[in-house]
């Protein structure tokens, strides 16, 4: 009889715990990425990007822009485009008939996505990555201030794919403006174009395969709706 009473008492406690837990689950809201208390806020942003990095053992400064759709002020997905504006110098690894006064133009663009943590705080962090297609162009200095296309005989183009993950800090300046600073690393694949040097029959690469892999520092000035 005592055992039966103990079992009944234990069953009663377990039932009470289950009811309490169920009640708490009903009251607690489970928020997901695209659902926040039954509402999903959708906004967007766009703006200027400036990137500092290394290219072929030289300093490179790139500028461009990007924009994205922003979900619940946290997850974003969009696009970007970047290109060098300081035109690093280039020297052929081995001599050719025309190897003087060359410059490098490095440009790429594609998808831009990431996640922002605690976006309502004045200063917060986030992670992002760019996935882009582009090209490395070697051209005569006289053409670097001209628009593409350049004369065919005076430039070489090597098509590439670029991935740039980064961690970043953001500063909320206003509801419609924020400043982004990020540290990342650019991974460049597809650097494989070759040429035949003067007085030679063997092809050699224009660049080392890692010549455009580099740590990066980016500054972004973004305009949109961030509240």
Least confident among 19-28, 135-144, 151-160, 163-172:
19-28
Point out which residues pair with 183 in neighbouring strands: 167, 217
28 in any annotated domain: no
- Per-residue burial over 197-219, b = 16 or more CB atoms within 10 Å of its CB, e = otherwise: beeeeeeeebbeeebbbbebebe
Rounded mean pLDDT, 30-42: 61
- Per-residue burial over 77-94, b = 16 or more CB atoms within 10 Å of its CB, e = otherwise: ebbbbbbbeebbebebee
Tens digits of per-residue pLDDT, 171-199?
999 999 999 999 999 999 999 998 888 77
Helix (H) or strand (E) holding 16: helix 2-27
CATH number at 98 reads: 2.40.160.20
- Per-residue burial over 7-30, b = 16 or more CB atoms within 10 Å of its CB, e = otherwise: eeeeeeeeeeeeeeeeeeeeeeee
143 in any annotated domain: yes
14 in any annotated domain: no
Phi, psi of 26 (to 5 degrees): -65, -35
Pairing outcome for strands 102-116 and 75-84: antiparallel
5 in any annotated domain: no
The number of folded domains in the chain is 1
pTM above 0.85, yes or no: no
125 in any annotated domain: yes
82 in any annotated domain: yes
Residue with structure tokens 């297609």?
A: 133
- The answer, yes or no, to whether residue 104 has pLDDT greater than 80, is yes
Q: Which domain holds residue 213?
A: 41-224
Q: How confident is the model at residue 9 (pLDDT cuts 50, 70, 90)?
A: very low
CA separation, residue 29 to residues 49, 88, 191 (Å): 37, 54, 50
CB 154 within 8 A of CB 113: no
Phi, psi of 148 (to 5 degrees): -65, 145
7 in any annotated domain: no
> From CA 157, how far away is CA 47, in angstroms rounded?
28
């Amino acid at each position: 009889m005592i055992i039966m009473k103990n079992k009944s008492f234990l069953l009663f406690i377990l039932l009470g715990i289950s009811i309490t837990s169920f009640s708490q689950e009903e009251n607690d809201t489970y928020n997901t990425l695209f659902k926040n208390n039954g509402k999903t806020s959708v906004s967007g942003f766009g703006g200027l990007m400036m990137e500092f990095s290394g290219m072929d053992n030289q300093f490179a400064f790139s500028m461009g822009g990007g924009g994205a759709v922003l979900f619940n002020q946290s997850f974003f997905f969009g696009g970007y485009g970047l290109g060098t504006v300081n035109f690093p110098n280039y020297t052929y690894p081995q001599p050719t008939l025309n190897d003087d006064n060359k410059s490098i133009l490095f440009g790429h663009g594609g998808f831009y996505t990431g996640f922002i943590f605690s976006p309502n705080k004045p200063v917060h962090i986030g992670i992002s990555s760019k996935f882009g297609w582009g090209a490395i162009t070697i051209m005569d200095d006289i053409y670097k201030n001209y628009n593409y296309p350049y004369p065919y005989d005076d430039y070489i183009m090597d098509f590439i794919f670029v991935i740039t993950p980064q961690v970043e800090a953001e500063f909320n300046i206003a509801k419609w403006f924020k400043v982004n600073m990020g540290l990342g690393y650019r991974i460049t694949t597809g650097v494989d174009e070759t040429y035949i040097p003067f007085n030679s029959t063997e092809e050699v690469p224009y660049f080392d395969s890692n010549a455009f892999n580099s740590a990066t520092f980016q500054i972004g000035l973004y305009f949109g709706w961030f509240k």
